[in-house]
Amino acid sequence: MFRIYSFVVLCFCTTLLTADEAVKQRPNVLWFIVDDMSANFSCYGEKLIATPNVDRLAKEGTKFSRAFVTAPVCSPCRSALITGMYQTTIGSHHHRSGRGVEKIHLPTGVTPVPTLFQQAGYYTCIGSGLPDAGRAGQPAKKKQAGGGLGKTDYNFEYDSKMYDSADWSKRKADQPFFMQVQLAGGKLRGGTDASARRLSERAAAEFDNAVKPADVTLPPYYPRDPVLLGDWAAYLEAVRFTDQHVGKVLARLEKEGLLDNTVVIFMTDHGISHARGKQFLYNEGTHVPLVIRGPGIAAGVTREDLVEHIDLAALSLAAAGIEIPKTMQARNILAKDYQPRDAVFAARDRCDETVEQLRSVRTDRWLYIRNGYPERPHLQPNAYKDGKSIVQTLRSLHEMKQLSDLQEKLLFSPTRPKEELYDWQADPHQLNNLAGDPNHQGMLEKLRQRLDRWIKETGDLGQTPETESRYDSDMASYLGRGNPAVEKNVAQMKQWRKEGK
């Protein structure tokens, strides 16, 4: 009897040892998540700057040329990414929501990705990826170095313990890690003309040159004004500083002998923060870079199929040998039996105090956008965006009637069409709305139905307007800052709601 019992114990211990060894052999997974940045990297065709480190990831891994976010603003995008679910399905679609007395809880069965990694034996961390630097890439204060967790910005309640630390250095020996490197990205240039100039001056000193504003090419819906040109030049410098930070993290992984066993993923949380970029569903707001390098990842490959940013959740779990929840909407785009998406979707709802409802479906050629509040202007009043020098300049030029007809139409029309249809391959800046063209009514109806089907199948919670009590709950923290512009805008939103506008 004793011998049988000993054999059972021995087998049990051996099983545990085998499982433990299996965990140690799993690859690390590292995400670079960058704020406010489009695909302005040289591997994506940007000519004014060089980005050797992201280019290296593309050369040694797989680059996706048609990756899109499901939400073009930080918190809904990040809420979707970290759950592998559409933000509209889990109730996290309003930007900076659930921050007041009325909280948002994830639906039953939806678990944040870091928790799934933890449960599988991984060490989970979120920070800058550099023990001596912050997310802006500059030396951190001693008390902050390797300290505070990186940006989360989730619109739901979660246990902060799903992150073990800010850095992988504190894990157990040979324990695999899931790391999110959160970088300031486009926010490095700030929101004012003065802060943009300071970043350009820093770039001139660190890189021995700076992007010349006169060399910048702007989308045709922006005027070649000195403020806008200077801001875009500074934005490109932010891309260079981001690439520099990526290079330092890669060098650290190499030095520690970790790079070859780490799946490295680089992406941004939405496009450039501008008048038609961040917060909007055009290419400028939703198209993002996505590059993946690591064991088993094809090198030097460019994929042109449509992918959504939430897919990072599924492919990361699969790379770590962790079962993908059956209810997760993300797809493992690296699976051998993966069937490419025939369409990708995006949504934009309230941003800060500004009420909005935009939905889109995109195929390999067509982009269909539905405006839920067509009686409102494109550039609704918003304290965050109106505080930026670029938007202030645009509004000033509009008042002085110094914008072109195209710029007036796309940026300052008092109302918007209910539907927009673009051949985004032939019209990359989405200048020509074909929704009213008799020759395209068949495609318009097809995409209209496709979006309706997605709304129904995914349980889009944004189809019902936010209750006034929840809006007031979230506005409490904004109004408490003593910002007259926010107070004015909140009153405007409520008045428009009363008017049914």
DSSP character string of 278-336: TTSSSHHHHEEEEEEESTTPPSSEEE-S-EETTHHHHHHHHHTTPPPPTT-----TTST
Q: Which of 16, 27, 297 is nearest to 174 (CA)?
A: 27
Tell me the C-alpha to C-alpha distance, in Å, between residue 25 and each of 28, 125, 336. Answer: 9, 19, 21
CATH number at residue 165: 3.40.720.10
The pLDDT of residue 19 is 54
Same domain, 420 and 344: no
Q: Which of 248, 293, 297 is nearest to 267 (CA)?
A: 293
Any residues with CB less than 8 A from the CB of 142 and at least 6 apart, and which? Answer: none
The pLDDT of residue 145 is 44
The pLDDT of residue 147 is 54
Cα 286–289–293 angle (5° rounding)? 145
Same domain, 340 and 414: no
Q: Mean pLDDT over all residues of the chain?
A: 94
Q: Is the pLDDT of residue 24 over 90?
A: no
Note whether residue 4 is domain-resident: no
Percent of the chain with pLDDT over 90: 90
Secondary structure of residue 17 in the 3-state scheme: helix
The pLDDT of residue 5 is 34
Secondary structure of residue 31 in the 3-state scheme: strand
Task: Give mean pLDDT, residues 396-408.
Answer: 98
Same domain, 382 and 435: yes
Choose one of 317, 348, 379: the last residue of a domain.
Answer: 348
Same domain, 298 and 372: no
Same domain, 317 and 406: no
Choose one of 348, 373, 388: the last residue of a domain.
Answer: 348
Task: Give mean pLDDT, residues 182-195.
Answer: 98
Sheet holding 344-348, edge to edge: 344-348, 358-362, 366-371, 419-423
Predicted TM-score (pTM) of the model is 0.94
Note whether residue 204 is domain-resident: yes
pLDDT band, residue 144 (cuts 50/70/90):
very low
What is the amino acid identity at position 445? E
Q: Is the pLDDT of residue 252 over 80?
A: yes
Same domain, 98 and 202: yes
The Cα 136–Cα 138 span in angstroms is 6
Pairing state between β 301-303 and 28-34: unpaired
Q: Is the pLDDT of residue 16 over 70?
A: no
Alpha helices in 92-225 (DSSP H): 113-119, 193-207
Same domain, 276 and 206: yes
The pLDDT of residue 12 is 41
Tell me the C-alpha to C-alpha distance, in Å, between residue 335 and each of 314, 339, 366. Answer: 10, 9, 26
pLDDT band, residue 134 (cuts 50/70/90):
confident
The Cα 34–Cα 182 span in angstroms is 6
Dump pLDDT digits (tens) for 52-102. 999 999 999 999 999 999 999 999 999 999 999 999 999 999 999 999 999
For residue 324, the enclosing domain spans 26-348
Same domain, 250 and 388: no
The pLDDT of residue 255 is 98
The pLDDT of residue 15 is 47
Dump pLDDT digits (tens) for 202-240. 999 999 899 999 999 999 999 999 999 999 999 999 999
Same domain, 418 and 439: yes
Dump pLDDT digits (tens) for 294-335. 999 999 999 999 999 999 999 999 999 999 999 999 999 999
Same domain, 418 and 392: yes
Same domain, 400 and 453: yes
Question: How many structural domains is the chain composed of?
Answer: 2
Q: Residue 42's beta-bridge partner residues?
A: none
The pLDDT of residue 10 is 36
Element (H, E) at 15: helix 2-25
The pLDDT of residue 136 is 78
The Cα 219–Cα 394 span in angstroms is 14
Same domain, 138 and 195: yes
pLDDT band, residue 141 (cuts 50/70/90):
low
Tell me the C-alpha to C-alpha distance, in Å, between residue 51 and each of 43, 107, 199, 211, 221. Answer: 8, 40, 17, 13, 27
Among 11-15, 149-153, 311-315, 424-428, name the one with the lowest average pLDDT: 11-15
Q: Is the pLDDT of residue 8 over 80?
A: no
Percent of the chain with pLDDT over 70: 94
Q: And the tokens for 388?
A: 């930026």
Note whether residue 21 is domain-resident: no
Q: Is the pLDDT of residue 292 over 50?
A: yes
Dump pLDDT digits (tens) for 416-461. 999 999 999 999 999 999 999 999 999 999 999 999 999 999 999 9
What is the amino acid identity at position 35? D
The Cα 465–Cα 78 span in angstroms is 22
Choose one of 348, 379, 407: the last residue of a domain.
Answer: 348
pLDDT band, residue 1 (cuts 50/70/90):
very low
